[in-house]
Amino acid sequence: MAAYDLHIHSGYSSDGELPVAAIVGLCAARGLDAFSLTDHNSVRGVGEAARLARERGIGFVPGIEIDRKIITMHDIKKVDRKSVV
Ligand SMILES: [Zn+2]
């Protein structure tokens, strides 16, 4: 059975801690077949992760986790009022 982790944050995310190289090392040590780096609003670590994964023979899926605000009709009405005034 293949092992994957498709949701990993690095130090490029506000809630990540490890540098990309450490993450790839852990993925290799844990025997993952593939992983994805999914930092918040950033792909700064993707190039390094892809290179290191390739060197170690691990599959890599470039990723990103985009933060967004949920917009409600109430928010739209507020914007409309501001643009009219
Ligand atoms: Zn996340």
What is the pTM assigned to this prediction? 0.78
Q: Which stretch, 33-37, 63-67, 81-85, has highest mean pLDDT?
A: 33-37
pLDDT value, residue 44: 97
- Total Cβ atoms within 10 A of residue 5: 16
The pLDDT of 33-61, averaged and rounded, is 97
Neighbours of ion ligand 1 (CB under 5 A): 65
Query: Ligand 1 centroid vs 74 CA: distance in angstroms?
Result: 27
Token digits for 20?
């990309």
User: Which position has the higher pLDDT, 15 or 68?
Assistant: 15
Percent of the chain whose predicted confidence (pLDDT) is above 70: 85
- Cα 42 to ligand 1 centroid, rounded to whole Å: 12
Q: Which pLDDT score, from 0 to 100, does residue 51 have? A: 98
* 85 has pLDDT over 50: no
